[in-house]
Chains A and B, each alone.
Chain A
Amino acid sequence: GAGVSQSPSNKVTEKGKDVELRCDPISGHTALYWYRQSLGQGLEFLIYFQGNSAPDKSGLPSDRFSAERTGGSVSTLTIQRTQQEDSAVYLCASSYEPRDIQETQYFGPGTRLLVL
């Protein structure tokens, strides 16, 4: 079946512009995660959605970052007034019922963001 998809695959923007990154999770997956991977760094947790519960936004680095998940499916990560330090690969992952002991996160290909 189809995996997690993300768009765009690459995004180049100018400092100060807003960007939107999209994630389509695997159909039926209730949980969705956003991570950021900066050069030479591990994955940094950003935000987590689970069903209709309020998202956990504890990993968002500043108020310029926000995310939505509409209808429990597609998610959009928005970065306002981008800065050069926002340059990174943004990864999305989805899973089915994270409380399940067998939970596995399935990752998308990522969006490579470059802020000039």
Chain B
Amino acid sequence: AQSVSQHNHHVILSEAASLELGCNYSYGGTVNLFWYVQYPGQHLQLLLKYFSGDPLVKGIKGFEAEFIKSKFSFNLRKPSVQWSDTAEYFCAVRGTGGFKTIFGAGTRLFVKA
């Protein structure tokens, strides 16, 4: 079955701490991978995406994610978080050439100032 698993439902960090949010997926065939973010009171928006090429992709606001095909993982990282990174983060997968996107349950990140 197609699924996305996000390992942590809640993460609390202090400012300047490093961040890694885990994401594993189950999907037959080649995939496109996404991280979306929803800041408090705002719409869900794209943070970064992987389609092909370099498995290390960089997104907005200093975020990056690495696609490890052998591990079916697409973990999100940021070396030093800020209070403004407090948000809910969603990992998503879609088969190449398709449209149906499978989302994980989300990880709520709270950054203490």
Q: Taking beta carbons and an 8 Å cutoff, which residues of A are in contact with B?
A: 3-4, 31, 33, 35, 40-45, 48, 50, 56, 58-59, 91, 93, 98-99, 101, 104-110
Contact = CB atoms under 8 A, between A and B. Distances in A.
A42 B103 CA distance: 6
Secondary structure of the B contact surface, majority rule = strand
Contact of B101 (A101, A105, A106, A108): A105
B99 A104 contact: no
Contact of B43 (A3, A44, A56, A104): A3
* 5 interchain residue pairs of minimum CB distance: A43-B103, A42-B103, A107-B44, A42-B105, A98-B99
Given A3-B43, A108-B43, A42 B106 contact: yes
B43 A45 contact: no
A45 B101 contact: yes
B30 interface: no
A41 B105 contact: yes
